[in-house]
Structure 1
Amino acid sequence: MKLSKSISFGLMAVSLLTYACGGGGSSTSTTTETVATPPPAAAPVSLEDKYKDDPVFIAGSAKTKEAGCTACHMVERKIVGPSYADVAAKYESTPENIELLTSHVINGHVGTWGEIQMPAHPQLAKEDVETMVKYVLLLKK
């Protein structure tokens, strides 16, 4: 009697296991679902890479480095002053804005970007500063 109960229990356990693993039930059809994997996102292009062949970029970048602007400004990240990209986002490249920003660089300015003052740079030639401002305004994201 014990043996038949053990065999019955064993058969029932195997049946349940088979059913649980997909062996039971009346439906034998299977469906295969294909999930589309999106293509990997392209790595974002830095503004420096985007404009590296532009003559305004080349001249302005060289002049800002030469003048020491990179001590307070970076292309895409705020340090002491705003990033060049933030300035480009705020100002359109118009003759009026080029004149305004040239004046801010040469004479100094405070208030537009907070309470830290942009020091005056009277030693810089106006034409060089205009080149730098045109470069900065080019750097739109």
Structure 2
Amino acid sequence: MKIKILLFGSVFVGLTSFTAYESEVTYVAIGTTSNIIYQSLDGEKLVAKSDCIGCHKIDKKLIGPSYLDIAKKYPLNDKSVNYLASKIIKGGSGVWGSIPMAAHSTLKKEDAKLMAKYILSVK
């Protein structure tokens, strides 16, 4: 009996290790009165993995502005997403005070856009 369970377990592990794994993007619907905007949860994961949390918090100012303050200042649209993605990649100063934001030049444009979408959705 133990041999059958061990054999079955080995076959099961072997078969599952050869299956193709594809990353699946998960979306959450954020409703507004006139339309629904789909926001990728990948942006939140990218923000969590980056060094953003050293200067930004969701609901209070640290070194840089909070994500809530950013979301209040900029509407969630393509223009704002592109602007903030550019700021994330290139860095900058003067908009929120004299302390400059570090550039993240190795970040892909699409990843920066996902991060910007996440930040703008925190309302």
TM-score tier after normalising by the smaller chain length = 0.5 to 0.7
Q: Normalized against structure 2, the TM-score is what?
A: 0.67
The TM-score normalised by the length of structure 1 is 0.59
Once residues 102 and 57 of structure 1 are traced to their aligned partners in structure 2, the CA distance between those partners, rounded to angstroms, is 15
Q: Displacement of 1:54 after TM fit?
A: 3.1
Q: 1:122 aligns with which of 96, 99, 105?
A: 105
State whether residues 93 and 137 of structure 1, in contact with CA within 8 Å, keep that contact through their aligned partners in structure 2: yes
Tell me which residue corresponds to 2:70. Answer: 87
Q: What value does the CA root-mean-square deviation take over the aligned residues?
A: 1.6
Report the equivalent of 1:105: 88
Instruction: Select 2:57's aligned residue among 74, 88, 102.
Output: 74
Unaligned runs of at least 5 residues, structure 2: 1-26, 30-38
Compare the two structures and name the one with the higher strand fraction.
2
When residues 96 and 127 of structure 1 are mapped into structure 2, their CA distance, relative to the original with a 3 A threshold, is same
Counterpart for residue 28 of structure 2: 54
C-alpha separation in 2, matches of 1:102 and 1:93:
12
* Aligned counterparts, 1:10-25, within 5 A: none
Alpha-carbon distance in 1 for matches of 2:57, 2:45: 13
Which stretches in structure 1 are left out of the alignment for 5+ residues? Answer: 1-52
Secondary structure of 1:54 counterpart: strand
Q: Give the number of the structure whose residues are more often helix, by fraction.
A: 1
Kept after mapping to 2: 8 A contact 1:57/1:138: no
Aligned residues: 88
Judged with a 3 Å threshold, the aligned counterparts in structure 2 of structure 1 residues 101 and 80 are, in CA distance, closer, same or farther, namely same
